[in-house]
């Protein structure tokens, strides 16, 4: 045992990573299920209810179906990049979850275990960096598919990324200034007394709008606008490669919701329930918001979206930073 | 120009015939500069079924069923247009008032059903998915009414030369009243989701503009023409089937863009509902088909007692009726615009030639003009605002 003790932290990390990935993939599966059920109710339909009780086994059935689909590689595809793109899309989505704290430290078998994988001192930066890498998956997929619809999807995606990463990054600066840290764990602690949504309402609004654009959800789902571009960047993808994009989208949605919860809604903090439950409820509320938006709003047009990003959100987020700074200086 | 100067070229995008939002099998050859449409060329013919030719080998009653399949979103309007043409050929003027009134009622319900499909697809093309399902929920109510009267949900073939195939069944009035009661609230619901929605306005105001002059030059009719501000509705200008007895307004737009066409059609649904209500309130009693044994088969019970009835029955079902030699053109205001039927008779029981003036086909001409210099995202909005039915375009 003495000899093994240095290995224990490593073992814990490995187990936690495994659990995190498993949890994320499960969360993805059920986010899809919830989306389909909730959207169905909003649209006066029933939604999937055949596989298992309340259709709870639907994700499993979908997974089997997707795995058994024929693998098709288009003739004009640039094969290595074409195959790489889905992974480039999915892996950063999974990785960015590493810094999200879903609760305080707990003790299992005498070992102190943190409910996050890493407490990076540049946590927020790390998440945004990975999100930017994830966009490459979309751009590469669109470019390498050898299809014009995919290509247009990729073009839109890069334009969208350029217009929205900036306000997204700037919108959280206010919160970061208040907390004085980039670490997500310390950010949660900084909100012990007041959630940052109360101190940074404008920052939050900008963040949530940019976040919807960042994860390509309606009304900003231009890169995959079905009625215009067939399926946008993933038009030419089938089978598990397509599922990767699908997973990336939903996991990104979960990650973005987690970041919103961590930065503006006090993370896992809350009365009565255990921290993990609070975290889960808050994220679920955001997922619901995403679904609600999708069921309600029409799609923006690509030039209007860029105008909105550059002419409204970016100045607003700068104003937010300056105002926050001014108030902080004024209050000493 | 130096060798290094950036060189741009346009891209040709083949949109359709299998594309989610070309409303069937329309093919568009788009020349794009980035996402800006330089040139759009519609290519039609993928749904050509030779329906007009088929009509030449059927008798007049049999041919009625073909027009259901021409514009499958407004089968009753098509029935009516053809039947009116044949009635003009036969010079029948004494259609029973009950039949007239029911024809108006059903065709207006049909207009609402057709506009609901348009609204749903227009919304889904712009990305508002839910509206599509709400529209189909209400359309289902109308289709239930059609099933009740004709036995078929879509391919009704209910209107006959001289009147209607049969009288409306019991419970019809209640169903229509239910619909009249609930539907205005539903329209309000659609409007809450769309009319003042900033994104919706962004996507439709000023898009696909067509001035009244251009619309006239292109022969465009229906809500598109009225959206451009021109008051032209055949129900008003050349009333048929007792439309002159009904009170309704013709909604007009001003700018001739997608948004104005949207508003026109939404208001048209409200007006149609008014007509339906009036028709139901005044529905006269009496027969629903004329009493001319050379054209209409005798009632079933007469067959047991009257030899003459048996002969008429035999003649009509083996041969059909024979209109005099001649040609007529009759047009009605279909949901999509002027729906005309040109019928030529050579004195036999089959039409010599039937030519349909399909509003979709002619309205589609306006598409390249609407798309000039617009973005790819506007293409689908414009196609939807024309409200094409490819079955009608290609026939």
B286-309 pLDDT, tens digit per residue, is 888 888 888 888 888 888 888 888
> Is residue A255 scored above 90 in pLDDT?
no
The answer to whether the Cβ–Cβ distance between A228 and B376 falls below 8 Å is yes
Give Cβ neighbours of residue A14 (< 8 Å, ≥ 6 apart). none
Q: How far is CA A282 from CA A176, A270, B317, in A?
A: 20, 10, 71
SS3 B156: coil
Q: How far is CA B134 from CA A39, B76, B183, B204, B223, in A?
A: 13, 23, 11, 20, 22
Q: Chain A residues with CB inside 8 Å of B127's CB?
A: 218-219, 221, 225, 227, 297-299
CA distance B273 to B282: 14
Q: Which residue has the higher pLDDT, A21 or A121?
A: A21
Lowest mean per-residue pLDDT among A20-24, A120-124, A287-291, B268-272: A120-124
Tell me the backbone φ, ψ of residue B282, rounded to 5 degrees.
Answer: -100, 0
Token pair in block for residue B346 = 């050579």
CA distance B196 to B216: 30
Q: Which of A227, A293, A308 to mutate to test the interface with B (most CBs of B within 10 A)?
A: A227
Asked if B348 and B325 touch (Cβ cutoff 8 Å), the reply is no
A196-247 pLDDT, tens digit per residue, is 777 788 888 888 888 888 887 878 777 666 667 777 788 888 888 888 888 8
- B119 in contact with A, Cβ within 8 Å: no
Nearest to B377 among A39, A148, A228 (CB): A228
Q: Chain A residues with CB inside 8 Å of B19's CB?
A: 230
Q: Identify the CA nearest to B334 among candidates B214, B230, B240.
A: B240
B118-153 pLDDT, tens digit per residue, is 999 888 888 888 888 899 988 999 999 999 998 888
Number of A/B CB contacts below 8 angstroms equals 82
The answer to whether the Cβ–Cβ distance between B129 and A294 falls below 8 Å is yes
Residue in chain A nearest B127 by alpha carbon: A298
Asked if B115 and B77 touch (Cβ cutoff 8 Å), the reply is no
Checking ipTM against 0.95, whether it exceeds it is no
Q: Beta-carbon neighbour count of residue B139 at 10 Å?
A: 19
The answer to whether the Cβ–Cβ distance between A301 and B375 falls below 8 Å is yes
Q: How confident is the model at residue A325 (pLDDT cuts 50, 70, 90)?
A: confident
> Is residue B23 scored above 80 in pLDDT?
no
Asked if B383 and B241 touch (Cβ cutoff 8 Å), the reply is no
Nearest to A301 among B11, B193, B202 (CB): B202
- B19 in contact with A, Cβ within 8 Å: yes
Nearest to A219 among B124, B199, B379 (CB): B199
Q: How far is CA A212 from CA A156, A208, A293, in A?
A: 15, 6, 9
Write down the domain spans for chain B.
95-289+361-394
Q: Chain B residues with CB inside 8 Å of A216's CB?
A: none
Q: Chain A residues with CB inside 8 Å of B139's CB?
A: none
Token pair in block for residue A300 = 């923006």
Q: Assign 3-class secondary structure to chain B.
A: CCCCCCCCCCEEEEECCCCCCCCCCCEEEEEEECCEEEEEEEECCCCCCCHHHHHCCCCHHHHHHHHHHHCCCCHHHHHHHHHHHHHHHHCCCCCCHHHHHHHHHHHHHHHHHHHHHHHHHHHHHHCCHHHHHHHHHHHHHHHHHHHHHHCCCCCCCCEECCEECCCCCCCHHHHHHHHHHHHHHHHHHHHHHHCCCHHHHHHHCCCCCCCHHHHHHHCCCCHHHHHCCCCCCHHHHCCCCCHHHCCCCCCCCCCCCHHHHHHHHHHHHHHHHHHHHHHHHHCCCCCCECCCCCCCCCCHHHHHCCHHHHHHHHHHHHCCCCCCCEEEEEEEEECCEEEEEEEEECCCCCEEEEEEECHHHHHHCCHHHHHCCCEHHHHHHHHHHHCCCHHHHHC
The answer to whether the Cβ–Cβ distance between B203 and A298 falls below 8 Å is yes
Token pair in block for residue A162 = 């350029």
Q: How far is CA B395 from CA B45, B53, B75, B357, in A?
A: 8, 10, 13, 10
> Is residue A110 scored above 80 in pLDDT?
no
Q: Assign 3-class secondary structure to A4-34.
A: CCCHHHHHHHHHHHHHHHHHHHHHHHHHHHH
Task: State the pLDDT at residue B1.
Answer: 44
Give Cβ neighbours of residue B37 (< 8 Å, ≥ 6 apart). B30, B31, B371, B372, B373, B374, B375, B376, B378, B379
Q: How far is CA B370 from CA B38, B251, B265, B294, B379, in A?
A: 12, 22, 18, 50, 9
Residue count of chain B? 395
Tell me the backbone φ, ψ of residue A244, rounded to 5 degrees.
Answer: -60, -45
Q: Widest CA span of chain A, in angstroms?
A: 64
Asked if B371 and B382 touch (Cβ cutoff 8 Å), the reply is yes
The answer to whether the Cβ–Cβ distance between B127 and A44 falls below 8 Å is no
CA distance B199 to chain A (A): 6
Nearest to A297 among B14, B124, B199 (CB): B199
CA distance A33 to A50: 12
CA A211 to chain centre: 8
Q: Beta-carbon neighbour count of residue A38 at 10 Å?
A: 17
CA distance A292 to A253: 13
Nearest to B19 among A230, A295, A296 (CB): A230
Give Cβ neighbours of residue B370 (< 8 Å, ≥ 6 apart). B208, B209, B210, B382, B386
> Is residue B342 scored above 90 in pLDDT?
yes
Q: Which of B18, B29, B127, B374 to mutate to test the interface with A (most CBs of A within 10 A)?
A: B127
Asked if A291 and A130 touch (Cβ cutoff 8 Å), the reply is no
- B133 in contact with A, Cβ within 8 Å: yes
CA distance B30 to B372: 10
Token pair in block for residue B34 = 């980035």
Interface of A with B in 280-299 (CB under 8 A): 294-299
Q: Chain A residues with CB inside 8 Å of B380's CB?
A: 227-228
Q: Identify the CA nearest to A178 among candidates A205, A192, A199, A204.
A: A199
Task: State the pLDDT at residue B112.
Answer: 92
Residue in chain B nearest A220 by alpha carbon: B127
Across the beta sheet with B27-33, the strand order is B11-15, B27-33, B36-43
B49-86 pLDDT, tens digit per residue, is 888 899 899 888 888 988 888 888 888 999 999 999 99
Task: State the pLDDT at residue B114.
Answer: 92
SS3 B289: strand
What is the number of alpha carbons within 13 Å of residue B291 lying toward its C-beta? 4
Residue in chain A nearest B135 by alpha carbon: A43
CA distance B373 to A2: 75
Q: Chain A residues with CB inside 8 Å of B10's CB?
A: none
- B29 in contact with A, Cβ within 8 Å: no
Write down the domain spans for chain A.
18-68, 78-331
User: What's the DSSP call for residue A282?
Assistant: H
Q: Identify the CA nearest to A119 among candidates A169, A181, A192.
A: A181
Nearest to B130 among A43, A219, A228 (CB): A43
Give Cβ neighbours of residue A76 (< 8 Å, ≥ 6 apart). A145, A146, A147
Q: Which residues pair with B329 in a beta bridge?
A: B342
The answer to whether the Cβ–Cβ distance between A221 and B127 falls below 8 Å is yes
Q: Which of B129, B201, B378 to mutate to test the interface with A (most CBs of A within 10 A)?
A: B129
B95: left (phi over 0), alpha (psi -120 to 50) or beta: beta
Q: How confident is the model at residue B167 (pLDDT cuts 50, 70, 90)?
A: confident
The answer to whether the Cβ–Cβ distance between A298 and B377 falls below 8 Å is no
CA distance A75 to chain B (A): 18
CA B7 to chain centre: 47
- A218 in contact with B, Cβ within 8 Å: yes
Nearest to A298 among B126, B133, B378 (CB): B126
User: Strand A111-113 relative to strand B163-164: parallel, antiparallel, unpaired?
Assistant: unpaired
Q: Which of B23, B130, B193, B208 to mutate to test the interface with A (most CBs of A within 10 A)?
A: B130
CA distance A94 to A77: 26
CA A265 to chain centre: 16
Provide the percentage of residues in chain B whose pLDDT is more than 70. Answer: 98
- A146 in contact with B, Cβ within 8 Å: no
Q: Chain A residues with CB inside 8 Å of B129's CB?
A: 39, 43, 218, 294-295
CA distance B334 to B337: 5
Q: Beta-carbon neighbour count of residue B308 at 10 Å?
A: 11
Q: How confident is the model at residue B319 (pLDDT cuts 50, 70, 90)?
A: confident
Q: Chain B residues with CB inside 8 Å of A230's CB?
A: 19-20
Q: Which of B126, B131, B373 to mutate to test the interface with A (most CBs of A within 10 A)?
A: B126
CATH superfamily of B95-289+361-394: Cytochrome-c3 Hydrogenase, chain B (1.10.645.10)
């Amino acid at each position: 045992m003495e000899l093994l003790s240095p290995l224990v932290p490593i073992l814990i990390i490995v187990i936690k990573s495994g659990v995190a990935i498993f949890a994320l993939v499960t969360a993805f599966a059920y986010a899809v299920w919830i989306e389909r059920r909730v959207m169905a109710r909003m649209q006066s339909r029933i939604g999937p209810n055949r596989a298992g009780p309340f259709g709870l086994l639907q994700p499993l059935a979908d997974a089997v179906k997707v795995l058994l689909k024929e693998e098709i590689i288009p003739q004009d595809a640039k094969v290595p990049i074409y195959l790489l793109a889905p992974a480039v899309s999915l892996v950063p989505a999974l990785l960015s979850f590493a810094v999200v704290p879903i609760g305080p430290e707990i003790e299992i078998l005498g070992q102190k275990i943190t409910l996050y994988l890493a407490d990076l001192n540049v946590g927020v930066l790390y998440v945004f960096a990975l999100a930017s890498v994830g966009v490459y998956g979309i751009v590469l997929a669109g470019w390498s598919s050898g299809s014009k619809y995919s290509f247009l999807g990729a073009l839109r995606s890069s334009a969208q990324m350029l217009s929205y990463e900036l306000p997204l990054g700037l919108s959280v600066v206010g919160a970061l200034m208040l907390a004085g840290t980039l670490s997500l764990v310390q950010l949660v602690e900084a909100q012990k007394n007041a959630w940052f949504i109360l101190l940074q309402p404008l920052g939050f609004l900008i963040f949530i709008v940019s976040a919807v654009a960042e994860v390509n959800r309606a009304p900003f789902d231009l890169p995959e606008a079905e009625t215009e571009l067939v399926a946008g960047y993933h038009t030419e993808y089938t089978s598990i490669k397509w599922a990767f994009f699908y997973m990336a989208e939903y996991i990104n949605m979960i990650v973005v919701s987690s970041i919103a919860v961590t930065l503006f809604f006090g993370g896992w903090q809350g009365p009565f329930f255990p921290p993990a439950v609070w975290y889960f409820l808050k994220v679920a509320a955001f997922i619901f918001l995403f679904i609600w938006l999708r069921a309600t709003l029409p799609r923006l047009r690509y030039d209007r979206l860029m105008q909105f990003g550059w002419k409204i959100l970016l100045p607003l987020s700068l104003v937010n930073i300056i105002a926050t700074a001014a108030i902080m200086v004024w209050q000493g | 120009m130096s060798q290094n100067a950036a060189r741009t070229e346009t891209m040709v995008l083949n949109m359709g015939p299998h594309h989610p939002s070309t409303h069937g099998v329309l093919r568009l050859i788009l020349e794009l500069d980035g996402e800006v449409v330089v040139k759009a060329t519609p290519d039609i013919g993928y749904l050509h079924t030779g329906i007009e030719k088929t009509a030449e080998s059927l008798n007049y009653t049999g041919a009625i069923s073909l027009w259901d399949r021409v514009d499958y979103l407004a089968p009753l309007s098509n029935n009516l247009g053809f039947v009116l043409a044949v009635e003009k050929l036969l010079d029948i003027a004494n259609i029973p008032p009950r039949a007239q009134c029911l024809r108006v009622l059903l065709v207006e319900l049909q207009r609402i059903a057709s506009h609901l499909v348009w609204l749903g697809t227009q919304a889904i093309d712009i990305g508002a998915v839910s509206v599509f399902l709400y529209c189909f929920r209400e359309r289902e109510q109308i289709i239930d009414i059609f099933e009740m009267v004709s036995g078929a949900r879509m391919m009704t073939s209910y209107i006959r030369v001289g009147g209607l195939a049969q009288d409306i069944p019991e419970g019809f009035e209640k169903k229509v009243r239910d619909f009249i009661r609930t539907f205005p609230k539903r329209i309000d619901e659609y409007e809450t989701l769309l009319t003042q929605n900033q994104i919706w306005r962004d996507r439709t105001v000023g898009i696909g503009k067509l001035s009244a002059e251009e619309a006239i030059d292109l022969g465009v009719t229906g809500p598109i023409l009225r959206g451009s501000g021109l008051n032209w509705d055949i129900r008003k200008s050349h009333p048929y089937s007792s439309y002159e007895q009904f009170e309704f307004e013709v909604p007009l737009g001003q700018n001739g863009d997608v948004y104005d066409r949207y508003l026109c059609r939404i208001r048209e649904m409200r007006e149609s509902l008014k007509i339906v209500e009036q028709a139901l309130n005044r529905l006269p009693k009496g027969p629903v088909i004329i009493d001319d044994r050379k054209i209409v088969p005798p009632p079933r019970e007469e067959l047991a007692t009257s030899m003459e009835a048996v002969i008429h029955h035999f003649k009509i079902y083996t041969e059909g009726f024979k209109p005099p030699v001649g040609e007529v053109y009759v047009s009605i205001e279909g949901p999509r615009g002027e729906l005309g039927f040109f019928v030529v008779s050579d004195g036999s029981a089959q039409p010599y030639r039937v030519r349909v003036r399909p509003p979709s086909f002619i309205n589609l001409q306006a598409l390249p003009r609407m798309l000039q210099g617009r973005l790819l995202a506007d293409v689908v909005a414009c196609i939807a605002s024309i409200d094409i039915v490819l079955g009608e375009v290609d026939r």
